[in-house]
Amino acid sequence: MENILSSEWGEIVFGSSNSAESQAIRRAVLGHRLRKLAPRVYTTNFEDTPESIVRRNQYLILGKLFEGAILSHRTALEGGPTREGLIILTYKYTKKITLPGLTIRLLEGAPVQEGDTPFMGKLFIASRERALLENLQPARSQFAKSLPRIVIETHLDKICRIHGPAALNQIRDRARQLAPKLRLEAEYKLLDQLIGSLLNTRSGRGLQSKSAKARAQGKPYDVPRVELFANLVTKLTHAILPLVAEKNNNESAQQHLAFFESYFSNYIEGTEFEVEEAADIVFRHKFIPNRPEDAHDIVSTYQIVSNKSEMHKTPNSSEELILLLQKRHQFLMSVRQEKHPGEFKQISNRAGNTIFVQPELVRGTLEKAFELYQALECGIKRAIFVMFFVSEIHPFDDGNGRIARIMMNAELVSANLCRIIIPTVYRDDYLLALRRLSRAHDPDAYIKMLMRAQAFTASIDFTDYQQALQMLHKANAFMLPFEGKLSF
């Protein structure tokens, strides 16, 4: 029997009521083939710490020791134990259990209800409605079984932000049916008040969370995005960046610079012309059969970035920021009516796995971004910041990348600094740096990428068109990313 048992033992071994199995376990402990972790819990692992062994097998252990228990209260909403190792379980009785690395608080409560989800075979996870009601219970003990009220408000706001107001109404309806079964009618009244405040059907006077208050005031915003923007601003505030003055100041140089800026900005977005075709469209007003909208994209971008007055306009308020974005977008996309020129998106958009700011949060997130923008010095730091937040918010159905780069270069032009052009060969560097900042919250590669792009732009003399064209070819600017590297 012992040999059979030993061959079947995994990392965790549980005590048994079977006499033969119990004796086999006892002999294995005496023979140092098993070690005890807790009452009725043993392990074959003699290398790792008891804490690490218990943590990676925590649900297996809990299911065996407390079969039918419900992961509830803060544990349900947080998706696991606290940093200190606290787990809350609703069970048949109340008790505190200590395991290596874990503290289990068993709370006597209502059995499994409709909506509670089976988990790991022998446990359950409280439904969202149950968990919300439980977390609104007043604290009557020293340990924190519930999350703070401000966290619950933020959680509800996040649900509304991602899934819409209908999701909150569904939660409220299900919680209304569930509350009497849990004897949490008072908690339901509080949940009802919170949801009503977030949906603007009740006063939001008692709300604590900034995001919840903003939603109640009709100005909800994307909280994680604003935190990401704040991290970038913190990095930029103390960054020591070179100030690269604009040397292409005569009229012809400015026109040529604006042309190549427009050409590359559109090429990145898939509006692809040979450079001489684009020059014919912009400078010689040549008509391109079957591609009038693409030709307009080139021309309209050029008309904005070559307009000295327009490119000196930067926002002094959140209202001006929104107006600048909408006016520039309206001009840029005027022939593409299906893209709703000048109007913020009404349907969410995405790029790969990145879902941009939800439509109802665009205005509020732009307003929060402007607050952070004001904290930065004029010039390169604001340029770097504005390009990212416009790109990350993605406020329009289309044209967001071009608008973001126009806004960036307007910051530079207004400070008499060199613009930033993203040549075709540098497209992947540009997009990967944006993605790294967006997903990994790492601003270093993004800042470095833009500073290199500015240094490249500064290396080109745009006074003479043909000379500039030759310099751009020499730098591999027109190559596709897989064909070469930017060289200057």
pLDDT for the residue numbered 440? 93
pLDDT for the residue numbered 424? 97
Measured at the alpha carbon of residue 96, what is the angle toward residues 93 and 97, in degrees to the nearest 5?
A: 110
The Cα 126–Cα 88 span in angstroms is 11
| 413 contacts: CB under 8 Å, gap ≥ 6 | 246, 308, 311, 312, 419
Q: What is the DSSP letter of 375?
A: T
Q: Quote the CATH superfamily of domain 223-474.
A: Fido-like domain (1.10.3290.10)
Structure tokens at 288: 């391109």
pLDDT for the residue numbered 208? 77
pLDDT for the residue numbered 5? 47
The Cα 38–Cα 450 span in angstroms is 56
Give 98's Cβ-side CA count (13 Å radius).
1
Domain ranges of the chain: 2-126, 149-216, 223-474
pLDDT for the residue numbered 141? 66
Q: 452, 242 in Cβ contact below 8 A?
A: no
The Cα 122–Cα 109 span in angstroms is 17
pLDDT for the residue numbered 2? 43
Mean pLDDT by runs of 10 across the 488 residues of the chain is: 54 89 90 92 92 93 95 94 94 95 95 93 94 90 84 89 86 96 96 89 73 75 92 95 93 96 95 93 88 93 96 96 96 94 91 86 93 96 98 96 98 97 97 95 96 98 96 97 94
Q: What is the DSSP letter of 417?
A: B
* Cα torsion 162, 166, 169, 173: sign: negative
The Cα 59–Cα 364 span in angstroms is 41
**Distances 292 to 271, 284, 299, 300 between C-alpha atoms, Å:** 11, 15, 10, 12
Residue among 479, 464, 459, 457 nearest 261 (CA): 457
pTM of the model: 0.68
CA of residue 350 relative to chain centroid, distance? 12
pLDDT for the residue numbered 214? 76
Q: 384, 236 in Cβ contact below 8 A?
A: yes
Q: 473, 463 in Cβ contact below 8 A?
A: no
Q: Which residues pair with 417 in a beta bridge?
A: 245
Phi and psi at residue 70, to the nearest 5°: -115, 125
Q: 485, 425 in Cβ contact below 8 A?
A: yes
